[in-house]
Chains A and B, each alone.
Chain A
Amino acid sequence: MKDELTFTTVGSKKYDMPKHIIIWMAFLIEIIPLYFMAVVSLKNNALFNNNPWMLDSISQWQWGNWVFGAKLMLPYLANTIFVTICSVIGQLVVAIMASYFFARYKMPLSSLLWSIFMFFMILPTIANIVPVFALLKSLNLLNSLWGLIVMSIAGHQIFNIFVLRHFIEDLPRDLFEAAEMDGASHFRQLKEIVIPMCAPIIGTLAVLSFLASWNDYMMPLVFLRDQELFTMGVGLIYLNSQYVKEWGHVMAAYLIASIPLIIIFLFSMKLFVRGLSAGSFR
């Protein structure tokens, strides 16, 4: 994959302006909830009832809301970061090893294993949540972050291996053979050839699984009981379910929950955009 992002352009300069205007309007409407969130996060309920949608004068800004939000969300965010990082690393390690197995040689049994792998892809994942609950209960993984991590590692394998296998197969075989001549073990070959050469697609898969784990709320909601184990998603649902709401507090908590990913995004914009726009969709 190219390092620079280039796009074919087909439009003529002449009619560009209307396009820009329509695109910008759509984006603004799409983004405006975030503006409201930020505005309300600086109000208390009295100010909110008075004037819900405009910023007040700076002296009236309620920074206390942000303190409240940070106190509430930071432990949840720490749990989420832990779960997400462990799952992404686990997923990629397991997936790279397995796709190396399938792509490197056609070993005896490997097509049988592949068929099993693909066949079970159509198994009913929707009905899964109930039996998975029972399974985790019997494994004592219910109400633990490790249960979430293991579920998430198992959950994304099929897609990851499916994509990675083809990328590893496309690598020139001479490379592997040369490495083998030098007596490199399979782990060495993984480390020295597969990972560097497949770095872009591995990055893409990492971004996708990062987003998936980060945004997941269904599994944590069903599997976690203790409040100190809550991930961000459950924390938000819990906050939203409270009956009397101080809107400033709620919105500040939402805002703080969104910040980590926005920061990561600012520093790795290219990776995100490339990962989400090229890679896996073709």
Chain B
Amino acid sequence: MKTNDLISQLVGGLKPVAPIRPSAWFGGWVAVGAFFVVGTAGFFGVRPDLVVAHPWFFIESTLILLTSGACAWRAVKLGIPGSKPTWMDRLPVFLIALWAGGTVVRLFRASSLVPDLHVVCAAVLWGVGIVVSIPLFIFLRRAAPLNTAAAGASAGLAGASMSALSVQLFCVNSSPVHDLLWHILPFLLSAPLGLLGAAIWVKSPFAKSRPV
């Protein structure tokens, strides 16, 4: 088949399409995330000592919120071919390093390093995280990510960090060992989970724009 013939056929089959709006998808994801953070914290009950919590709690919560937004934005950006690289692309790694690094530093001051068994935090983090990351995976499936692995990992981290924020609001255990084991580790593991999810869902031959 000659290129000119292919062009004629593609033109002949042209139908109007609505351009995908990354900013609108990001805004929608923020709304979904906020709904689930409030809903989860409301369901489990906000920790009673929130008002008198240690300053690190508020710094950590802010870092988690920023991580969530940065990862989601990165995932959305990776869905569009040819997006210009900016410093924002490195922001998720920087924020995650601050969050995890801050908690590791707290370990040195901790009175006890005995780990507790609190699977609920990890279970909620993953459960809510999966639900919250669904809009991002739908976006990636509709979009055309050139680096599906990175896009999937970012989407997984975005969902998990948003749900980590909700866990943060109801979990009364503030020990650094607990935070590392049941909040940060499950959060980090959501990156390979997101990568796997993208391999199954986004790279499926049924996906809308798979040739890219």
Q: Do chains A and B stick together as partners?
A: no
